[in-house]
Amino acid sequence: MIVATRKNVRELKQLLAPYQRIAVLGCGTCVTVCLAGGEREAGMMASALRMASRLDGVEKDIRDLTIERQCDDAFIDEAWKSLDEADAILSLACGAGVQALAHRFPGKPVFPGVDTQFIGILEEQGIWAEKCIACGHCRIGSYGAICPVTRCAKHILNGPCGGSHDGKCEVNPDTDCAWQLIYDRLKAIGEEYRMEEIAPLADWSLSNEGGCRKIIREDQRI
Amino acid sequence: MHHTSEFEPQILAFCCHYCAYAAADLAGTFRAQYPTNVRIIRVPCSGKVDPMHIMQAFEHGADGVLVAGCLEGGCHFLEGNLRAKRRVSLLRQILDEIGIKSDRLRMVNLSSAMGQTFANTVTEFTEQIRELGPSPITNNIPRGKLR
Ligand code: SF4
Ligand code: SF4
């Protein structure tokens, strides 16, 4: 899922200063699961912003609502009327959701209400970790399903580097060395031989380094 | 000074049924004195207090909010009070960001036998809120809108 974190109330109050009627829009998918931008968080943020504005002597009309998925026009339609009535929208979805809204409401200011962090998983209650940077050519089949592009600080495809120490990364001793994890896992699945395979040069133009990506599937077009 | 003595804070206390609520009851039984500013809301566990309830209390003009749960290790539902503690600490941070002094929200831990402690805590918290003065939210709520 996409993992996000909440933004400071002060920052948002400032962003929204020029607007009177504000829709705080939660998203029912990833940001609900990571507890950053779901129905509850939208309610909390709307309440916090109402109070913060009131302390500045301004009474604002700030309402929250939550839709199933903000990165999908079909779901935005459900809330179209309430959103259209607002002077500005504060979206608690990931960056994709925020931009989907901006696209759908060309004349309306839309602001991000969370900081989108990464594609990751819930490791334990309250702890989320990044697992994939969407590089465009998944190669983790060679690495025991552990991603060195994302999880090795040096992104090396032929590791480890010389700094791996007691299973920890030399860049940050609090982080597991991705290559230690790869080795342990390959051993566990009986594929240690893969450690000796040399990965060829990677084509990073397939990743976001090559610019914004778009997928066109003729079979799906109408 | 005159102003302070006139101000009677409105305080909301979310009290766990198994400890703080029973302690409040006990305090009543042996007639311990404590200020009447506190409205008690009984909850099945301090962990049941939704952060949104606390936000709403402040938005509707509460001057202070207490969340009272069992002693650590003594929660009837094992960890409800520890969760409440963490939620309270996040909410205190959010209150600060809003511009409401985080001291207006406090988590306390009690057992059902601590009637006197309950009375003392409430007295002390009420005094602290009295010192802080009325909630800035109440001051800014347009006339007639205070619920
Ligand atoms: S190799 Fe690329 S696509 Fe596969 S997990 Fe790593 S970053 Fe994601
Ligand atoms: S110690 Fe491990 S994770 Fe850290 S940079 Fe070296 S190989 Fe990568």
Q: Does the pLDDT of residue A168 top 50, yes or no?
A: yes
Instruction: Please tell me the predicted confidence (pLDDT) of residue B147.
Output: 47
Instruction: Please tell me the predicted confidence (pLDDT) of residue A61.
Output: 98
Q: Does the pLDDT of residue B143 top 90, yes or no?
A: no
> What's the pLDDT tens digit per position in B115-126?
999 999 999 999
- Are the Cβ atoms of B94 and A40 closer than 8 angstroms? no
The Cα–Cα gap between A125 and A35 comes to 11
Q: Does A9 touch chain B (CB under 8 A)?
A: yes
Q: What is the DSSP letter of B76?
A: T
Instruction: Please tell me the predicted confidence (pLDDT) of residue A85.
Output: 97
Which one of A154, A165, A181, A195 would you pick to mutate in the ligand 2 pocket, going by the greatest count of ligand atoms within 8 A of its CB?
A154
For residue B16, what is the enclosing H or E element? strand B11-16
Domains of chain A: 2-118 (3.40.50.2300), 134-210 (no CATH)
Q: Does the pLDDT of residue A90 top 60, yes or no?
A: yes
Please report where in the chains the tokens 């059902």 appear, as a residue. Answer: B112
Q: Which residue of B has its CA nearest to A49?
A: B98
Q: Is the peptide bond prior to A160 cis by the omega test (within 30 degrees of 0)?
A: yes
> What's the pLDDT tens digit per position in B56-102?
999 999 999 999 999 999 898 999 999 999 999 999 999 999 999 99
Q: Which atom of ligand 2 approaches the CA of A168 most closely?
A: 1
> What's the pLDDT tens digit per position in A111-147?
999 999 999 999 999 999 999 999 999 999 999 999 9
Instruction: Please tell me the predicted confidence (pLDDT) of residue B138.
Output: 82
Ligand 1 site, CB within 6 A: A 132-135, 138-140, 147, 149-150
- Are the Cβ atoms of A51 and B52 closer than 8 angstroms? no
Interface test with B, best of A47, A50, A60 (most B CBs within 10 A): A47
User: What confidence category does residue B1 fall into, taking pLDDT thresholds of 50, 70 and 90?
Assistant: very low
User: What confidence category does residue B3 fall into, taking pLDDT thresholds of 50, 70 and 90?
Assistant: low
Q: What is the mean pLDDT of chain A?
A: 96
Tell me, in angstroms, the distance from the centre of ligand 2 to residue A157's CA. 11
Nearest to A59 among B52, B59, B142 (CB): B142
Q: Does the pLDDT of residue B25 top 70, yes or no?
A: yes
Q: Which residues in chain A have Cβ-Cβ distances shorter than 8 Å to B100?
A: 51, 55
Domains of chain B: 11-145 (3.40.50)
The Cα–Cα gap between B80 and B74 comes to 10
Instruction: Please tell me the predicted confidence (pLDDT) of residue B6.
Output: 79
Tell me, in angstroms, the distance from the centre of ligand 1 to residue A132's CA. 5
Q: Which residues are A66's β-sheet partners?
A: A26
**Could you count the other beta carbons within 10 Å of the beta carbon of residue A102?**
16
Lowest-pLDDT choice from A150-154, B23-27, B137-141: B137-141
Return residues 26-55 of A near B (CB < 8 Å).
40, 43-44, 47-48, 50-52, 54-55
Q: Which residue of B has its CA nearest to A54?
A: B140
First and final CA of chain B: distance in angstroms?
Answer: 27
User: What confidence category does residue B2 fall into, taking pLDDT thresholds of 50, 70 and 90?
Assistant: very low
